[in-house]
Amino acid sequence: MTTANDPTTIGRFAPSPTGPLHLGSLVTALGSYVMARHGGGRWLLRIEDLDIPRVVPGVADDMLRTLEVLGFQWDGEVLWQSRRGTVYAAALDRLLQSGVAYPCGCSRAEIARIATAPHPGDEGPVYPGLCRNGLPAGKSARSVRVRVVDEPVCFHDGLMGIICQNLASTGGDFVVKRADGLFAYQLAVVVDDAESGVNQVVRGADLLSSTPRQIHLQRLLGFPEPAYFHFPLVTDPGGAKLSKRDNAVSLAMGRDLERDGHLLLFDSLCFLGQNPPFCLREASCQEILSWAVENFSLAAVPRFAGPFPRIS
């Protein structure tokens, strides 16, 4: 695994264009950027536009422009998931050929009706394994699932410490190709990170529960496991997670980023516990990012979600 001071680090920021960048997105972008750059590593940009029905036209371009205005510079070309179907299909075929994935004919409604464990996971009730040994009579394939084992998947998160999750009891065999024909996020992100050489994943704590499934896929496909760092979420004043569906939390809403973007960067550093000198609030975006790369302290990052500060 890499550390924040490893010049061979390859980090990435991977927003989904299902809504505009918000303050939580900025914190994640900033955290991933400074941790990758701190030791001279590379920082990649990926647009996760795989879930086509939820993609909002024009948002991806707005994201790129926003990042540029705020001074972020990425290495290489932007990777677009929507253009990588053949790559995901090849990985899925490997899973099917090795017998660790199988076609499933169950609908969400059917699973919800008969699931023995009613407590929902990230993707609904625990899958009861109806198609694990072949499609039952009268069923046709709808999706593709990956087999899990009844034992914990553990990893060390750079902020949260040791995390363990038993995939069998928290979700069961999970979908890697959806009934609508789209490849699932869990498969795509694993394939993309491996192919791009990403060895440091910095993202929001809301994705912490997805990591064991991704590690399971990495092991099945023979991919290396990146170092993971799940940063605290930005909440609204009432303590709720910011949502892309709420335009009020958009970075650009009511702001001139050309004029005030540096203040957002300054406040983001304060949210991450970095204690930048107050005089830096008048610096340019590039100067603030340079200071952050030089002085970033992982130990100072809070472990819990909280509201965005208004220091500047």
Per-residue pLDDT, averaged over 244-256, amounts to 62
Tell me the pLDDT tens digit for each residue of 181-222.
999 999 999 999 999 999 999 999 999 999 999 999 999 999
Tell me the pLDDT tens digit for each residue of 13-61.
999 999 888 889 999 999 999 999 998 999 999 999 999 999 999 999 9
The pLDDT, as a whole number, for residue 243 is: 61
- What percent of the chain is predicted at pLDDT more than 90? 75
- Contact between 72 and 103 under an 8 Å Cβ cutoff? The reply is no
Amino acid present at 30: L
Bridge partners for 155 per DSSP: 163
CATH class of the domain at 86-92+99-186:
alpha beta
For residues 190 and 198, give the distance between their C-alpha atoms in angstroms, rounded to a whole number. 10
Per-residue pLDDT, averaged over 161-171, amounts to 95
Domain residue ranges of the chain, discontinuous segments joined by +: 10-84+191-307, 86-92+99-186
- The second-level CATH assignment, the architecture, of 10-84+191-307 is 3-Layer(aba) Sandwich (3.40)
Tell me the pLDDT tens digit for each residue of 61-109.
999 999 999 999 999 999 999 999 999 999 999 999 999 999 999 988 8
**20 to each of 151, 239, 243, 264, 272, how far by Cα in Å?**
38, 20, 10, 15, 21
Q: Do 10-84+191-307 and 86-92+99-186 show the same overall fold?
A: yes
Amino acid present at 299: A
For residues 115 and 206, give the distance between their C-alpha atoms in angstroms, rounded to a whole number. 25
Q: Within 103-182, where are the H helices?
A: 108-114, 167-170
The structure's pTM equals 0.91
- Give the residue from 10, 143, 158 showing the smallest Cα distance to 76: 10
Q: Within 145-184, where are the H helices?
A: 167-170
